[in-house]
Amino acid sequence: MGYLDIRKASADDAEKLCVLLNEIIEVGGTTALEEPLSVKELTDWFITGKSALTCHVAQAGPGIAGFQFLSLYENLPKGWADIGTFARLSPKIPGVGTKLFAATLSAAEERGVAFINATIRADNTGGLAYYEKMGFRTYRTIEKVPLRDGTLVDRIQKCFAVKKNLSGV
């Protein structure tokens, strides 16, 4: 594995993160997001907005290898945060998600987050495997969520207890 620098994202990263994310959205099949985001939307949702809790970037030399965020959304119980992970498609760098999650977990602990929620499309086998590897466990399935084209795809919700003595799912 090449050298990866994990650091907090700033608004200065938003344009590069937007390019990475929008490429993933365009390819389709791995994110619930179906419409490209503007730099302003990405910044608000993941870096500096009122719901954004933390966002980390994996830097590989001069390029961005991926990013991961935690956000607080009204539909989650108190003490819960939502996670999203995006790694560039090419060239892939092994270990990006693992290193990002270590930084995100540390930030979650510092901010008193009790549980991290991941909602993954059922057809995103790579995403499902990644979150299982990180220790997330399935607690609910939201069945037959329509995509923009009308295709019905289940959403799998997985939970990670930040402090291992907690239960609640």
Report pTM.
0.92
Query: 31 and 86 in contact (C-beta within 8 Å)?
Result: yes
Where do we find the tokens 């037959």?
144
% pLDDT > 70, the chain: 95
pLDDT band at residue 32 under the 50/70/90 scheme: confident
The answer for residues whose C-beta is within 8 angstroms of residue 74's C-beta and 6 or more apart is: none
Q: pLDDT tens digits, residue range 108-137?
A: 999 999 999 999 999 999 999 999 999 999
Q: What pLDDT, in 10s, does the model give residues 67-121?
A: 999 999 878 999 999 999 999 999 889 999 999 999 999 999 999 999 999 999 9
Mean pLDDT of all residues belonging to the chain? 92
Q: Helix (H, G, I), strand (E, B), or coil: what is residue 19?
A: helix
Query: Which tokens go with 101?
Result: 């999650």
